[in-house]
């Protein structure tokens, strides 16, 4: 029986082609399973730590005020120690960093950053900082699934898809929302809809949801909210609610960026200490504002008519989130947005409740507030709609949610010029995330898909041998020359040069040739050849001195014309 490694070259060539394949689907499911296991371990660690001092997970009101303020202080100290041990330069975390790596490094996540995200995220969530678990989940999912591609030395275009599969599985495992996870990956992270990407991401999302259901059950986080159908007379008011939510999203995004700008020069340990002090102070007074979102949601469910307390909770939650995310506490932003959205929606439900003397609509408005705020803050309207459908487990929310989401999104974009918080953070951190149209096309095609073996290889030939081979070549066949120069090996192409011949010099022109790994994409080929717009590169498997094929400029040009008429 052949060893599985013997099948790798055929698998690598198959995955270099940007087409739907059974192999990629199976690998996406495997990557999704690894990502889901990481998230399950992550969640169990948080629950286990909180079990030592909380009666209910993420409910910080269950601990006495005398001890509650100590939790963020201790958590910040431990997060700082982990950052110190792994190196401060490896402290770039969260969804913006993952988007940057997806665009510039095919989703391959650095190991030390992942350690910071895993252990730092556990400590941040367990100690009451107002951050979400989806930030670490996205990072861990991308790392777990892309590791499969790196281990198998797959083409980078397929490694990028596997990273997307891991992210989808991780979000599905974190929130038990497989459909929303899939849409989030396509809309926010990958920012594209292509069928050969969509299918494996979908399967990985299913795997993530199944894994988390086996461990944590089928409960939905918003199922406790009483969601009822709204009559048509609510709809004009829902438009007004969307406007308010869109304005609140702008206020939140703007203040978060101010926070980042204000404290960007502070040392990390000092920023973590300040975040801990603010969390301890606000958490001492408003315990439901601590944690990801559960405390705020439960308070909104239990006290839908306590307007002054809801306003206080909303302000406290916003302050804690701004200081935690703005000062670098490892964690995500979506969880706190869920919490703030639910509280804001519950507050907005007061107006129709007063008019009809009925508070039964508060649960519906709470969910609508969450959906609108997510759409306006993240610029992810479709992901917000699907997330609220799955988390609420109620189809009656769809029509009013669409109205609120659209109104909130249009308001925040057109009237406040509010950008996606992730893109704004990337611009602030000066992390590139935009690709040229040519790179965007070529990153999806591995070099093995275009590999050409129509060439002749000569090792350390003399001039006479080169002339003999050149005389026999049939275009577009190429001559590749391998020369040992001291301890190194260099490759050259050789061809006749008419201008040199007329001047009386040698009629053979030599040009150095760069080698690329078999994992590279056609984007790397473009970067090597675009200045000269001629020539070729050679491709190697393991040994850089042993070519397995070449790619010519005219092949690259033909691919661009075929794909998008870009050149």
DSSP track, 66-99: HHHTHHHHHHHHHHHHHHHHH-GGG---HHHHHH
Cα distances (angstroms) measured from residue 402 to each of 237, 252, 390: 14, 22, 14
In 496-535, which positions are buried (b, 16+ CB within 10 angstroms) versus exposed (e)?
A: eeeeeeeeeeebbbeeebebbebbbbbbbbbbbbeeeeeb
Q: Specify the pLDDT at position 402.
A: 96
Top-confidence range, 9-13, 250-254, 395-399, 454-458: 250-254
What whole-number distance in Å separates Cα of residue 111 and Cα of residue 181?
24
Q: Specify the pLDDT at position 494.
A: 85
Q: Specify the pLDDT at position 538.
A: 95
Strands 478-485, 455-459: pairing is parallel
Q: Read off the pLDDT of residues 56-72 as tens digits, 9 standing for 90 and up.
A: 888 898 888 888 999 99
Q: Read off the pLDDT of residues 293-314 as tens digits, 9 standing for 90 and up.
A: 888 888 888 888 889 999 999 9
Q: Specify the pLDDT at position 138.
A: 94
What whole-number distance in Å separates Cα of residue 315 and Cα of residue 286?
10
More confident residue, 437 or 401: 401
DSSP 288: G
For residue 121, which of 148, 143, 153 has the smallest C-alpha distance? 143
Question: 546 by DSSP, 3-state: which?
Answer: coil
Q: Specify the pLDDT at position 1.
A: 43
What are the structural domains, with CATH classification, of the chain? 4-221 (1.10.3080.10), 232-429 (1.10.3080.10), 442-564 (3.10.580.10)
pLDDT tier for residue 90 given thresholds of 50, 70 and 90: low
More confident residue, 101 or 90: 101
Give yes or no for a contact between 162 and 156, defined as CB atoms under 8 angstroms apart: no
259 has pLDDT over 60: yes
239 has pLDDT over 70: yes
Would you say the C-alpha torsion 61, 64, 70, 71 has a positive or negative sign?
negative
pLDDT tier for residue 549 given thresholds of 50, 70 and 90: very high
Give the CA radius of gyration of the chain: 28
Q: Read off the pLDDT of residues 369-382 as tens digits, 9 standing for 90 and up.
A: 999 999 999 999 99
Q: Read off the pLDDT of residues 404-451 as tens digits, 9 standing for 90 and up.
A: 999 999 999 999 999 999 999 999 988 888 888 889 889 999 999 999
Give yes or no for a contact between 503 and 480, defined as CB atoms under 8 angstroms apart: no
pLDDT tier for residue 564 given thresholds of 50, 70 and 90: low
Q: Read off the pLDDT of residues 192-234 as tens digits, 9 standing for 90 and up.
A: 888 899 999 999 999 999 999 999 887 766 666 778 888 888 8
Tell me the average pLDDT across 152-157: 95
Strands 515-517, 536-540: pairing is parallel
**DSSP states of 174-195 as a string?**
HHS-HHHHHHHIIIIIS----H
DSSP 266: S
Q: Specify the pLDDT at position 397.
A: 87
What whole-number distance in Å separates Cα of residue 483 and Cα of residue 461?
8
What whole-number distance in Å separates Cα of residue 398 and Cα of residue 405?
10
pTM of the model: 0.92
Q: Read off the pLDDT of residues 317-371 as tens digits, 9 standing for 90 and up.
A: 999 999 999 999 999 999 999 999 999 999 999 988 887 766 678 889 999 999 9
The torsion region of residue 195 among left (phi > 0), alpha (psi -120 to 50) and beta comes to alpha
Least confident stretch, 85-99, 128-142, 169-183, 513-527:
85-99
Tell me the average pLDDT of the chain: 90
Find all residues with CB under 8 Å of 251, minimum gap 6, and list them: none
Q: Specify the pLDDT at position 221.
A: 64
Q: How much of the chain exceeds pLDDT 70, in percent? A: 95
Q: Specify the pLDDT at position 217.
A: 84
Q: Specify the pLDDT at position 567.
A: 43
Q: Tokens for 553, please give them.
A: 């400029």
Tell me the average pLDDT across 470-493: 88
For residue 249, which of 387, 404, 98, 428 has the smallest C-alpha distance? 404
Tell me the average pLDDT across 463-479: 86
Tell me the average pLDDT across 173-186: 92
């Amino acid at each position: 029986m052949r060893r599985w490694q013997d099948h790798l070259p055929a698998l690598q060539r198959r995955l270099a082609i940007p087409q739907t394949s059974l192999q990629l689907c199976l690998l996406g499911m495997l990557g999704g399973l690894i990502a889901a296991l990481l998230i399950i371990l992550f969640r169990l660690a948080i629950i286990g730590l909180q079990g030592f001092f909380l009666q209910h997970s993420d409910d910080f009101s269950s601990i006495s005020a005398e001890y509650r303020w100590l939790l963020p202080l201790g958590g910040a100290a431990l997060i700082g120690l982990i950052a110190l041990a792994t190196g401060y330069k490896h402290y770039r975390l969260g969804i913006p960093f993952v988007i940057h790596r997806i665009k510039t490094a095919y989703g391959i996540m650095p190991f030390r950053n992942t350690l910071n995200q895993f252990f730092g995220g556990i400590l941040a969530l367990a100690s009451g900082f107002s951050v979400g678990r989806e930030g670490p989940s996205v990072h861990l999912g991308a790392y777990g699934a892309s590791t499969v591609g790196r281990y198998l030395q797959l083409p980078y275009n397929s490694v990028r898809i596997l990273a997307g599969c891991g992210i989808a599985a991780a979000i599905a495992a974190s929130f038990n929302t497989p459909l929303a996870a899939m849409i989030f990956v396509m809309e926010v992270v990958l920012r594209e809809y292509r069928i050969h990407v969509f299918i494996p991401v979908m399967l990985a999302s299913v795997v993530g949801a199944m894994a988390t259901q086996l461990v944590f059950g089928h409960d939905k986080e918003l199922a406790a909210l009483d969601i009822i159908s709204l009559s048509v007379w609510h709809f004009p008011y829902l438009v007004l609610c969307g406007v308010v939510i869109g304005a609140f999203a702008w206020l939140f995004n703007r203040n978060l960026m101010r926070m980042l700008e204000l404290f960007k020069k502070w040392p990390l340990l000092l920023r973590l200490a300040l975040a801990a002090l603010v969390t301890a102070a606000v958490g001492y007074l408003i315990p439901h504002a601590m944690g990801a979102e559960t405390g705020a949601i439960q308070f909104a469910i239990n006290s839908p008519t306590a307007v002054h307390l809801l306003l206080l909770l909303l302000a406290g939650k916003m302050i804690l989130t701004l200081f935690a995310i703005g000062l670098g506490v490892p964690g995500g932003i979506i969880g706190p947005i869920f919490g703030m959205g639910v509280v804001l929606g519950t507050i907005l439900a007061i107006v129709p409740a007063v008019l009809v003397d009925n508070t039964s609509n508060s649960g519906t408005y709470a969910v609508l507030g969450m959906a609108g705020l997510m759409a306006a803050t993240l610029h992810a309207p479709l992901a917000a709609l699907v997330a609220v459908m799955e988390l609420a487990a109620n189809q009656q929310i769809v029509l009013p949610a669409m109205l609120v989401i659209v109104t909130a999104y249009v308001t925040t974009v057109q009237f406040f010029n509010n950008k996606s918080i992730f893109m704004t953070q990337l611009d602030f951190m000066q992390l590139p995330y935009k690709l040229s149209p040519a790179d965007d096309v070529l990153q999806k095609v591995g070099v093995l898909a275009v590999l050409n073996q129509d060439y002749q290889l000569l090792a350390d030939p003399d001039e006479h041998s080169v002339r003999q081979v050149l005389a026999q070549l049939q275009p577009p066949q190429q001559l590749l020359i391998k020369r040992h120069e001291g301890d190194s090996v260099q490759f050259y192409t050789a061809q006749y040069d008419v201008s040199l011949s007329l001047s009386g010099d040698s009629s053979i022109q030599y040009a150095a040739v760069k080698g690329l790994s078999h994992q590279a994409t056609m984007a790397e080929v473009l970067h090597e050849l675009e200045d000269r717009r001629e020539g070729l590169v050679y491709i190697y498997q393991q040994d850089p001195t042993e070519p397995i094929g070449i790619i010519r400029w005219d092949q690259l040009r033909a691919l661009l014309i075929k794909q998008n008429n870009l050149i």
